[in-house]
Amino acid sequence: MKFDWSAVGAFLPTFWNGVLVTLQALALGSLIAFGLGLVWALAQRSSLKVVRWPVTALTEFVRNTPLLVQLFFLFYVMPEWGVTLSALATGVIGLGLHYSTYTAEVYRSGIDGVPAGQWEAAIALSLPRRRTWTAVILPQAIRRVAPALGNYVIAMLKDSPMLFAIGVLEMLGEARQFSSQTFQTVEPYTVVGVAFIAIAYPASLLLRALERRLVR
Amino acid sequence: MSADRSTPNTPPADGTDAAASASASGQTELIRFDKVTKRFGSHTVLDALDMKVYPGKHVTLIGPSGSGKTTILRLMMTLLKPDEGTIKLGDRYLTHEDKGGKLVPASDRYSREIRKNIGMVFQQFNLFPNMKVLRNITEAPVHVLGMDKDAAEQRARELLDLVGLTAHLDKYPSQLSGGQQQRVAIARALAMRPQVLLLDEVTSALDPELVAGVLDLLRDIAHSTDITMLCVTHEMNFARDISDCVMMFDAGRVIEFGPPEQIFTAPEHERTREFLSAVR
Ligand SMILES: Nc1ncnc2c1ncn2[C@@H]1O[C@H](COP(=O)(O)OP(=O)(O)OP(=O)(O)O)[C@@H](O)[C@H]1O
Ligand SMILES: [Mg+2]
């Protein structure tokens, strides 16, 4: 088997499109996962059972079913309900929702890790509830768990090829399309594999540096 | 409640009265505990405690470990709720709301409103590590009292000057020594201009060489302001210096109280004598 460098060259233009789609899905998916996860984490600390219960049920359900099944569900069932979104938008929502159930746990451990004395100091100063969360508890909790959140971004990157299953042309999708048109397989898949490493490895180094900085 | 328990609980109520009456005659009490009971599970930590503190007085609580001193301060700060009894600050209840003549447990909003008048300094400082020194001090005045940011910073600078830390206003708490952190915590509490300052063993977590600085600062504050202080300490010399009244606790009851000269030189109770000789 010969590695054909010219095939790499031919693949590159569409490959860049795939890279952009992957990064887009990752960025938007992360935003959803970070935002929604925080909502779940706070809802699970609510004093109201009617808030806590459904959220616990939903997050347990989503966390314990495969992402691929959720993607298919969103892609084929949402239109039945009259919600039609592009494949990429559906994929981003699926990825973000799935990972929000993990980030929720991360936030939760971060919040639990803030010493009781911080709550007590906030009470002793009569800080309003909302201000206590936004100025005292969450900044400390998030700082604690930033590296763990970052790990989920990397995990999400590695799960992003699943979007191909609902027709999103991210990196893997472009490779697949290229190989079915040119019958060259080794080159495009090699490029994609290298690209994943090229993104994930520096990202994990960055995370480790962040971790070292945060643990002061 | 058994008879032998009710008796020792009664005198402090009048006694603090008496002890404080020399300079506070005619004044009404600022803090008043009425039959306050606090239990943790089946363990009764405070048993129908009565206590009064007059405005501007400095009261020190002493007693062996586990006797309930911290519990009293935490009740006062509304960090704990009493199982029975009431606590009043001035003419308002701390623990209850008066709704048309009926006492109902205080709501969150009501508690927050009334506890603005109370400040607390903790053994472990509990500064906010994510905020610089200056913002630790301005945070509550700005967001609780609605103070203008510049005015709050101006006041924070004055307080930092008082506690001798002007040079450190731009640092994070983790960059300060324990003694410096505790002085910031004192400034933070004072920034709210509380009527009552609660101090719970504020030097216990400090290295020995840092204790004196913090105690000197508190002496200064005690002597130069009319703030009412409720202070738990194992530093007997400090207690003697700043207190108008010393209360000796044992097993959740005040067994003896009085001006410091009396408690430290001529204690009446055997338990007090034992305790004092143990801590000296
Ligand atoms: N949150 C809690 N849960 C259960 N028991 C508690 C709790 N807080 C205090 N106690 C118990 O209540 C009793 C009184 O505690 P408190 O902290 O008021 O004592 P203290 O006089 O401050 O003692 P020290 O001098 O050691 O600080 C102790 O027996 C303690 O074990
Ligand atoms: Mg204590």
Most distant pair of Cα atoms in chain B: their distance = 58
Residues near A5 by beta carbon (within 8 Å), at least 6 away in sequence: A187
- Integer angstrom CA distances of residue B272 from B203, B236, B241, B251, B277: 22, 13, 19, 12, 9
* Residue A134 belongs to domain with CATH number: 1.10.3720.10
CB B238 within 8 A of CB B220: no
Interchain contact A120–B (C-beta under 8 A): yes
| Beta pairing class for B84-89 and B118-121 | unpaired
Indicate whether B131 belongs to any domain: yes
Instruction: Give residue A208 CA to ligand 1 midpoint distance, Å.
Output: 41
Chain segment B149-189, per-residue pLDDT in tens: 999 999 999 999 999 999 999 999 999 999 999 999 999 99
Burial classification of residue B181, based on how many CB atoms lie within 10 Å of its CB (0-12 exposed, 13-18 middle, 19 or more buried): buried
Contact flag A121-B128 (C-beta cutoff 8 Å):
yes
CA distance B21 to B35: 22
Chain A residue nearest residue B142, CA to CA: A127
**What was the pLDDT predicted at A210?**
85
Residue nearest atom 28 in ligand 1 by C-alpha distance: B66
Contacts of B124 in chain A (CB under 8 A): 117
Q: How many domains does chain B have?
A: 1
Instruction: Give residue B125 CA to ligand 2 midpoint distance, Å.
Output: 14
Indicate whether A159 belongs to any domain: yes
Indicate whether B177 belongs to any domain: yes
Contact flag A117-B122 (C-beta cutoff 8 Å):
yes
> How many CB contacts within 8 angstroms connect chain A with chain B?
62
**What was the pLDDT predicted at B22?**
33
CA distance A123 to B86: 20
Indicate whether B184 belongs to any domain: yes
Choice between B1 and B258, residue whose per-residue pLDDT is larger: B258
Residue B253: φ, ψ to 5°: -130, 150
Ligand 1 pocket check for B75: Cβ under 6 Å = no
Residue B10: φ, ψ to 5°: -75, -45
The chain-wide mean pLDDT, for chain B, equals 87
CA distance B60 to A58: 53
ipTM here: 0.88
Interchain contact B159–A (C-beta under 8 A): no
Indicate whether B148 belongs to any domain: yes
Choice between B10 and A7, residue whose per-residue pLDDT is larger: A7
Indicate whether A2 belongs to any domain: no
Instruction: Give residue B68 CA to ligand 2 midpoint distance, Å.
Output: 7
CB A158 within 8 A of CB A196: yes
| Beta pairing class for B253-258 and B84-89 | unpaired
Q: How many domains does chain A have?
A: 1
> Whole domain around residue A139: which residue ranges?
11-214
**What was the pLDDT predicted at B14?**
37
Indicate whether A3 belongs to any domain: no
Instruction: Give residue B27 CA to ligand 2 midpoint distance, Å.
Output: 30
Question: What number of other Cβ atoms are within 10 A of residue B191's Cβ?
Answer: 25
Contact flag B130-A131 (C-beta cutoff 8 Å):
no
Q: Which ligand is nearest to the CA of B122?
A: 2
Above pLDDT 70, what percent of chain B?
91
pLDDT by residue, tens only, chain A of 216 residues = 678 899 999 999 999 999 999 999 999 999 999 999 999 999 999 989 999 999 999 999 999 999 999 999 999 998 999 888 999 999 999 999 999 999 999 999 999 999 999 999 999 999 999 999 999 999 999 999 999 999 999 999 999 999 999 999 999 999 999 999 999 989 999 999 999 999 999 989 988 888 888 765
**What was the pLDDT predicted at A216?**
53
**What was the pLDDT predicted at B19?**
37
Indicate whether A19 belongs to any domain: yes
Indicate whether A48 belongs to any domain: yes
A160-169, B5-14, B27-36: least confidently modelled range: B5-14
Indicate whether A182 belongs to any domain: yes
Q: Give the CB-side neighbour count of residue B34, counting CA atoms within 13 A.
A: 12
Interchain contact A24–B (C-beta under 8 A): no
Indicate whether B187 belongs to any domain: yes
At B81, is the pLDDT very low, low, confident or very high (cuts 50, 70, 90)? very high
Indicate whether A60 belongs to any domain: yes
CA distance B234 to B241: 13
- Amino acid identity of residue B203, one-letter, is T
- Integer angstrom CA distances of residue B57 from A93, A159, A190, B266: 62, 66, 79, 22
Ligand 1 pocket check for B71: Cβ under 6 Å = yes
- What mean pLDDT comes out for the span B118-124? 96
Burial classification of residue B269, based on how many CB atoms lie within 10 Å of its CB (0-12 exposed, 13-18 middle, 19 or more buried): middle
Closest CA to A56 of A48, A44, A66: A44
CA distance A62 to A33: 13
* Residue B196 pLDDT > 90: yes
CA distance A132 to B119: 17
CA distance A99 to A70: 12
Residues near A6 by beta carbon (within 8 Å), at least 6 away in sequence: none
Name the β-bridge partners of B249.
B254
**What was the pLDDT predicted at B20?**
37
> Whole domain around residue B145: which residue ranges?
127-191
**What was the pLDDT predicted at A1?**
64
Supply the DSSP symbol for A132: I
Ligand 1 pocket check for B69: Cβ under 6 Å = yes
CA distance B65 to B263: 18
